[in-house]
Structure 1
């Protein structure tokens, strides 16, 4: 998830995958590592937009916030790509399995606003009475760990948070990374804003792609225009979700920078899968 940076710090959030380590010593002006043409070709073959793809620790950051590992780039999914997206809700081929189950979540090395934001995101999911429930733990092990990284703006955007997609064995993606740079959430982060970013990133962890998969300019504006592509990672339409624009979805590629939770169509999608 990212925020568009301007002189007024107007917020436009991009959502998806994560950096897998705390990077508090990272310079905000660090030049991204060059991505090879081979890697770009494999990223494109998986169905992701290669514009602004960056080499980061743990893999490649694409679409502002989705982390693809070398293993992801080398994988050949068994589930076929079913369709090119339009504007419906979409999921990946892999989902969380062994339902019903409780997914444990821990927060490590982050200020209290991130802990409170995690609790609020968990409350929102659990209020839907799905076959997956979330529980925050203070133990050393958890299904999902929410951790920090420190990185300043790049190319007019700053990454707010990132995560990935479920594994082949049916486990949720194991990490959500949240940016602690002052240009991300400010010196006094709003808990509901932080909760909305965590809520979105957890959506990726359990298998959701962006609602405006077909054209991110719907939520991101002209700078985010483009179809995210026919994906081998999976862009499977969720029945019962709309075929027209859905302004308030929690899985839009870009947010309005404020508090955003599930709308009615999001609830349909979550209940269909879980």
Structure 2
């Protein structure tokens, strides 16, 4: 994420910045109506159901979480979905110690450079996960690539997902019409590190009150009964400057805080 700024508020900005993605699909696509029963499932799993978007059978939740309807059907509160990085549950990357290979597919050099910075941040923590950038898609556990054309229309700046079957989520999508204009390489690295955090099972630090980083009215994503196990030594409320805050400046650099490091070390 990343998220780095509240997504809905930036649809107009994205329109001004858009230049290079598949804009040849001429007509603006239409979001699909999300059935009430799907919204109920989303809420029951502990996600914010207030701003769910759906297109072509894919749900976009909390700004940058991509979950297909099929994946949603397979989830249940007993699965132990990730809550946020100062809490832990059971749906994480397994088989550790483990190396996770990251591939940057057909993106400008600054995305490669920012990915290297993000990888170094994780590896500097001496976790049971080691990240490694590879040059072949066939080696990749996580691929970073441009988002599809319709992300721009819906104001989606990027997306990732949560681990499945003990493996990291395999794709980080970046809306180049926005991120090509970010000048601070460390800010872009924070975005990529944020999405990598989702891929290995972390949710937004301020899930209990998104207004902490996004502004506006208090907005509790909730834990939905999925089990929020507090990590000793970390805050129980929103954590200032965490790399997993729901919103923030896209140019702003947010390396791991002391609380982030505690949480990462505890989980991995």
Question: TM-score scaled to structure 2, two decimals?
Answer: 0.83
Structure 2 counterpart SS, 1:152: helix
Mapping of residues 42-57 of structure 1, within 5 Å: 42-57=41-56
Say whether residues 1:143 and 2:137 are aligned partners.
no
Q: Deviations over 1:5-31 (max 9, x none)?
A: 469969xxxxxxxxxxx8655569533
Structure 2 counterpart SS, 1:228: coil
Once superposed, what is the RMSD of the aligned Cα atoms? Answer: 2.9
CA distance in structure 2 between the aligned counterparts of 1:7 and 1:71, rounded to whole angstroms: 28
Q: Identify the residue that residue 18 of structure 1 maps to in structure 2.
A: none
Gaps of 5+ in 1: 11-21
Gaps of 5+ in 2: 15-20
Mean alpha-carbon deviation: is it higher for 232-241 or for 125-134?
232-241
Greater percentage in helix: 2
CA distance in structure 2 between the aligned counterparts of 1:199 and 1:231, rounded to whole angstroms: 26
CA distance in structure 1 between the aligned counterparts of 2:112 and 2:256, rounded to whole angstroms: 20
Question: TM-score scaled to structure 1, two decimals?
Answer: 0.81
CA distance in structure 2 between the aligned counterparts of 1:188 and 1:44, rounded to whole angstroms: 33
Q: Deviations over 1:10-57 (max 9, x none)?
A: 9xxxxxxxxxxx865556953322111221121111111111211134
Say whether residues 1:211 and 2:205 are aligned partners.
yes
Say whether residues 1:120 and 2:113 are aligned partners.
no
CA distance in structure 2 between the aligned counterparts of 1:58 and 1:114, rounded to whole angstroms: 29
Aligned residues: 253
Q: Identify the residue that residue 161 of structure 2 maps to in structure 1.
A: 164
Q: Identify the residue that residue 247 of structure 1 maps to in structure 2.
A: 240
Mapping of residues 258-269 of structure 1, within 5 Å: 258-269=252-263
CA distance in structure 1 between the aligned counterparts of 2:58 and 2:10, rounded to whole angstroms: 28
Alignment CA distance shift 1:170-1:56 (3 Å) = same
Mean alpha-carbon deviation: is it higher for 227-236 or for 32-41?
227-236
Q: Identify the residue that residue 18 of structure 2 maps to in structure 1.
A: none
Structure 1 counterpart SS, 2:193: helix
